Structure 1
Amino acid sequence: LVYRKNAMVNWDPIDMTVLANEQVIDGKGWRSNVEVERRELTQWFFNISSMSGELLDALDHLEKWPAKVRLMQENWIGKSRGLEMTFPLSTPQDGCDGITVYTTRPDTLVGASFLGLASNHPLAQSLAAQNPALEAFCAECKKMDTTEAAMEKAEKKGFDTGITVQNPLGGAPLPVWVANFVMMDYGTGAIFACPAHDQRDLD
């Protein structure tokens, strides 16, 4: 029912506590009004994914709940259908020979134009340790407000790592970027971008 793992959190350095995304306003703590830091801490989690089907089915029986609230609950449960696939690195990096991505749209793989990594993805961190400019970019990403509304409005930024991967379907190598709109806590922390279907890819 519950488990522990390391996860990125919003840390208020004045109140010395973790904040929910809704408590971060314009990158600052709602009470302290100081810049919030992104930190990796050990957290407890409910294993919602093991119960997602049952929870979603139960929402249909809550006829008296407002539709908006039911939709919020559905989004919070966050059941997603997709698959994982690995893009082989053209040149292995620090013992890593491929990048695994999760996608709900495997049918768009043929149009992949680049891979994006979260700034706290293990490969991004490994590369940043050898590249001060990438390290600075990752530090900048840590300061971002990660609420859904803020992410939609934020300028999409990326850093070209200089490494490439092979598309499993063949074709030219794809560049690997560290991107400020890729989140480590969704899927594998890596995405392939296809210039269609998702506004962030077009941006």
Structure 2
Amino acid sequence: LWVFTTRADTIMGVTFCAVAAEHPLATHAAERDPRVAAFVDECKRGGVAEADLATMEKKGVATGIFVTHPLSGEQVEVWVGNYVLMGYGDGAVMAVPAHDERDFAFARRYGLPIRQVIAVAGERFSTDAWQDWYADKQGGVCLNSGRYDGLGHAAAVDAIAADLAARGLGEKKV
């Protein structure tokens, strides 16, 4: 599963992936699971404009399909999410609930893990409520991220992109 991200520095915080209802993986899952089929149909009937994403309720369904995290080797479940657009990236996102507000709301709704991987000095992280600093690119450093611990945003992005490229599992684009 190829996913798009603007926050490679948070990759170690991925706890699930989400695909658009039109994504081929969603179609495949819908062929085997009536719950997925019903949700995909609901999403296609509703249609979502990008401008509406911020305010709409984040909903989804687990596909029962797992992918392997490219750096940790952890198995990560794929969900179909109504907040993922096929026209954005490849219609699939790595979900990092601790550092993306949409993913945070989705994870809270479905009881999915929220793993902090960015720390900002003087701030306390809690999974109880979203705080804007959770998405801070400039003031934070990596933690709970193995060899990337202590790196700031730019250094972490460069190191992670290089590691993914060396494994043939990703590339850095502007």
TM-score normalised by the chain length of structure 2: 0.57
How many angstroms apart in 2 are the aligned matches of 1:143 and 1:117?
A: 17
Match of 2:5 among 103, 116, 136: 103
Aligned twin of 2:54: 152
Structure ID, larger Rg = 1
Aligned twin of 1:198: 100
Aligned twin of 1:134: 36
How many angstroms apart in 2 are the aligned matches of 1:118 and 1:145?
A: 11
Whichever residue aligns with residue 158 of structure 1, its letter is: G
Q: CA deviation at 1:150?
A: 2.2
Higher strand share: 1
Whichever residue aligns with residue 116 of structure 1, its letter is: A
Q: CA deviation at 1:123?
A: 1.2
Matched, 1:112 2:14: yes
Whichever residue aligns with residue 134 of structure 1, its letter is: V
Q: CA deviation at 1:172?
A: 2.8
Q: CA deviation at 1:126?
A: 1.5
Between 1:173-182 and 1:162-171, the stretch displaced more is 162-171
Q: CA deviation at 1:145?
A: 4.3
Number of residue pairs matched?
Answer: 105
Identity over the aligned pairs, expressed in percent? 48
Relative contact order higher in (CA < 8 Å, ≥ 6 apart): 2
Name the Cα RMSD after superposition. 1.3
TM-score normalised by the chain length of structure 1: 0.49
Higher helix share: 2
Kindly report structure 1 stretches of 4+ aligned residues shifted beyond 4 Å. Answer: none
Aligned twin of 1:125: 27
How many angstroms apart in 2 are the aligned matches of 1:144 and 1:152?
A: 16
1:1-203 equivalences under 5 Å are 99-203=1-105
Instruction: Give deviations 1:1-57, integer Å, cap 9, x for gaps.
Output: xxxxxxxxxxxxxxxxxxxxxxxxxxxxxxxxxxxxxxxxxxxxxxxxxxxxxxxxx
Q: CA deviation at 1:107?
A: 1.0
